[in-house]
Amino acid sequence: MYQLLTDSACDLPYQTLQDAGVDFVSMHVDVDGVQHVDDLGETFAITDLYAQIANGVMPTTAQVNVGQFVDFFTPYVKAQQPLLYLGFSSGLSGTFNSAVQAKAILLEDYPDADIRLVDSLAASCGLGLMVLDAIAKQAAGTSRDELADWLEANRLRYRQWFTVDDLNYLYHGGRLSRTSAALGTMLHIKPVMDVDTDGHLRVVKKARSRQKSLYALADETIQALAHDPAHQVIIATTQAPEAAEIVQARIHATYPETPIRIEAIGAAIASHTGLGCVAVFSLDATQRQ
């Protein structure tokens, strides 16, 4: 049996991964000069981070480095267990490249190491939704290489839609100019974003109110669900439960049978979005452009 691996940018609950036997490697978050391990809530509660963000702290993040990945992969390599690592988008972090370098290092000492790496080109619960699908396919008997090939062939079918409430975080992250952030805040403009084919976040449209931005997320998801309304949808937020309920209700008005789970956006992503971010993740019949 092969071991399924991911990283903490998947934003799934710690217990979900534990129950499925999926191991993960952690990003690091610096909060006001104190470094924390993003371990999906095992020791570092996301609510604590949210509280500090609410008090004006702007956390910073550090990608998983090569040494961490060597340490992460080594026990499985020594046990001669095949690995499948499904990682955070290379378009948003250098983490996946660290995994590639770690694999090369390990192959020097363990030439028979069987490590397969898949760049999800996804973030947060977009990666998480892929992990859930991978868990189900592994349980159904899909082989490691078949699963890796399927993920690479279908990763652009995963739709990832985001909006934020505080434009200053996009400014600090380099995705908006200071002028655009200030003007957008004054005019109550809310960006509607997705992830492009290279795994980068991009602004697709601008809504003139919070409610319109939430409706846009729901409507894009409804379009994606047309081919399979029974597929899992994940809504993830940074402390915005009411917004999640608005999006969920709008989706269920069209597809009441769609299973929707609501999760918290994890430390690595929340550090770059601030509070009030809402994201919706689904699987479409066609690949994103």
Do 59 and 171 belong to one domain? no
CATH classification at residue 19: 3.40.50.10170
Full-model pTM = 0.94
- 188 Cβ neighbours under 8 A, 6+ residues apart: 208, 209, 210
Q: Does 188 have pLDDT greater than 70?
A: no
- 265 Cβ neighbours under 8 A, 6+ residues apart: 11, 46, 124, 125, 236, 237, 238, 273, 277, 279
Please give the mean pLDDT across all residues of the chain. Answer: 92
Asked, for residue 288, whether it belongs to a domain, the answer is no
**Residue whose entry in the numeric block shows the structure tokens 């992460």:** 72
CB-CB contact of 26 with 10 (8 Å):
no
> What is the distance between the alpha carbons of residues 251 and 118, in angstroms, rounded to a whole number?
30
Do 91 and 10 belong to one domain? yes
pLDDT at position 203: 86
Do 187 and 271 belong to one domain? yes
Better-predicted residue by pLDDT, 176 or 134: 134
Last residue of a domain, one of 155, 172, 200: 155
Q: For residues 159-187, give the mean pLDDT.
A: 61
Ramachandran angles phi, psi of 260, nearest 5° = -125, 125
CB atoms within 10 A of CB 208: 11
pLDDT at position 201: 84
Do 25 and 151 belong to one domain? yes
How confident is residue 181, by pLDDT bands cut at 50, 70 and 90?
very low
Q: What is the tally of structural domains in the chain?
A: 2
pLDDT at position 58: 87
CB atoms within 10 A of CB 54: 11
How confident is residue 71, by pLDDT bands cut at 50, 70 and 90?
very high
> What is the distance between the alpha carbons of residues 126 and 155, in angstroms, rounded to a whole number?
10
Do 151 and 161 belong to one domain? no
Strands 27-31 and 158-163: unpaired
Q: What is the pLDDT of residues 81-137, one digit of tens each?
A: 999 999 999 999 999 999 999 999 999 999 999 999 999 999 999 999 999 999 999
Query: Whole domain around residue 247: which residue ranges?
Result: 157-283
Last residue of a domain, one of 155, 177, 199: 155
Do 151 and 195 belong to one domain? no
pLDDT at position 186: 45
Do 174 and 97 belong to one domain? no
